Structure 1
Amino acid sequence: MGNLCCSVEVPKSTVAIQQKFGRHHKNLYVGRHCSPWICGYEVVGELSLRIQQLDDVKCSSKTKDNENVDVIASVRYKVDRVYEAFYTYDNPRELIRDCTKHAIGCYIERCNLDELSDLEQISACVIQRVKELLDDSGYAIVEAVIVDIKWDTLLENPMMEINAGRHRK
């Protein structure tokens, strides 16, 4: 994206933010646009409209049974509303990471250790809670996948026996 001769080119899957005398003027989508700096127009930044991913969101929490559990999740998100996404937060990746940790922690604290084997249910609850938390931020959660749940080493063998017993029924 250059500003040679008042011309700005916005690449594919990107939106640029144009201001006029320091106030938001309009969003510039793909293509070449005229942005005459002499008239007070300035391109102040750009946002990617592609789906982005946060890998290895780690959350440690205690269950209702007072057992330590480490959950590793992967979150995919996208820009939903450009104006809010650009002007609301400086570091949206950290915001989404923190909201995901909060949602996972809240869910784990309400469950017993036996209830944590259903990964799809955990993912659905995390997506719902993160959508509520990110409602006015301009970002939307596309998918949240629980990659791994790690229990204390003392609990690992009894949990494997419990899961094996469920599969036999």
Structure 2
Amino acid sequence: MGGLLCCVQVNQSTVAVKESFGKYNDVLEPGCHCVPWVLGSRLAGHVTLRMQQLDVRCETKTKDNVFVTVVASIQYRVMADKASDAFYKLTNAKTQLQAYVFDVIRASVPKLNLDDVFEQKNDIAKAVEDQLEKAMSTYGYQIVQTLIVDIEPDEHVKRSMNEINAAARLRVATSEKGEAEKIVQIKRAEGEAEAKYLAGVGIARQRQAIVDGLRDSVLGFSVNVPGTTAKDVLDMVLITQYFDTMKEIGANSKSSAVFIPHGPGMVHDVASQIRDGLLQASSH
């Protein structure tokens, strides 16, 4: 019915290109329009003004000879005042956009190493956007934004990069573990040295106390028992301590048999040996 009345409807966010006898005549805005086909007018086609997106996958090689696939996302739209240029000057906008993206990416990425590609992806996106803006504005297209949404190295390269990263982290962990063990060993050695020093001090004090006790015992016994010499008292005290020691060894040692000299003559030898040992220790 609308065709008979020469009325056409143009939807929102869309414009229509009107021709008269095959020649461009006007761009019709959204709404209802009269296109008298009997007078040679007709609609050549419609052009959408909505935002469009094109995802481009481009395989290229980096400066360090690593093949990567770069995924670029191009957001673009037709400028309303240049809808006729977009309709007449360009047959396939997506193919044209894809060609420019390939050209810029394959000119930029080979100048960078793989790590730099990841770090400078915004610079690559800006270079693509500038090139597209310059080229596509002639055809009535506006480049709204360009994004590098993904950089995919070869699977073997990704596996190698992960192994390198893991090895580096393992090396750091091993170094830290070795440093910790070194600190533990140093502290343990310092503790053992301090313990030995304190044990030596304790032994020295113990021996000094024994010598002082023996001296007091000898002096006291000599005073209370007339006719005894200091040597006799010292021998008796030393022999008593010697047998007390043997008793403790028999009670606490794992071995239940202790061989000691026996006989009356041996007692004098035991006392002499103990006394000489103590005197030598005191002199040192």
TM-score by length of 1: 0.86
Query: Is the helix fraction higher in 1 or 2?
Result: 2
Contact 1:107/1:126, CA 8 A, preserved across alignment: no
- Structure 2 counterpart SS, 1:69: strand
Aligned to 2:35: 35
Aligned to 1:83: 84
Q: Distance in 2 between matches of 1:128 and 1:109?
A: 19
- Picking from 148, 152, 155, the partner of 1:146 is 148
Deviations 1:85-125 (A, max 9, x none): 00012211211122222222221122222211133222112
Aligned to 2:115: 114
Contact 1:6/1:36, CA 8 A, preserved across alignment: yes
Q: Distance in 1 between matches of 2:71 and 2:26?
A: 39
Shifted more, 120-129 versus 42-51: the winner is 120-129
Q: Decide whether aligned partners of structure 1 residues 10 and 136 sit closer, same or farther in structure 2, where only a CA change above 3 A counts.
A: same
Contact 1:103/1:130, CA 8 A, preserved across alignment: no
- Structure 2 counterpart SS, 1:85: helix
Q: Distance in 2 between matches of 1:39 and 1:140?
A: 35
Bigger RCO of structures 1 and 2 (CA < 8 A, at least 6 apart)? 1
**Do structure 1's residue 93 and structure 2's residue 94 form an aligned pair?**
yes
**Do structure 1's residue 26 and structure 2's residue 26 form an aligned pair?**
yes
Give the share of equivalent positions with the same residue, in percent. Answer: 37
Query: Is the strand fraction higher in 1 or 2?
Result: 1
Provide the aligned length of Structure 1 versus Structure 2.
162
Contact 1:20/1:41, CA 8 A, preserved across alignment: yes
- Structure 2 counterpart SS, 1:12: coil
- Structure 2 counterpart SS, 1:135: helix
Structure 1: 4+ residue segments shifted above 4 A: 157-160
- How far does residue 11 in structure 1 lie from its aligned partner after superposition? 0.3
Aligned to 2:251: none
Q: Distance in 1 between matches of 2:83 and 2:3?
A: 21
Q: Distance in 2 between matches of 1:123 and 1:159?
A: 24
Q: Which amino acid aligns with 2:43?
A: V
Deviations 1:6-44 (A, max 9, x none): 001100000000001111000001111111011111101
Contact 1:76/1:142, CA 8 A, preserved across alignment: yes
Aligned to 2:277: none
Q: Which has the larger radius of gyration?
A: 2
Aligned to 1:74: 73
- How far does residue 158 in structure 1 lie from its aligned partner after superposition? 5.3
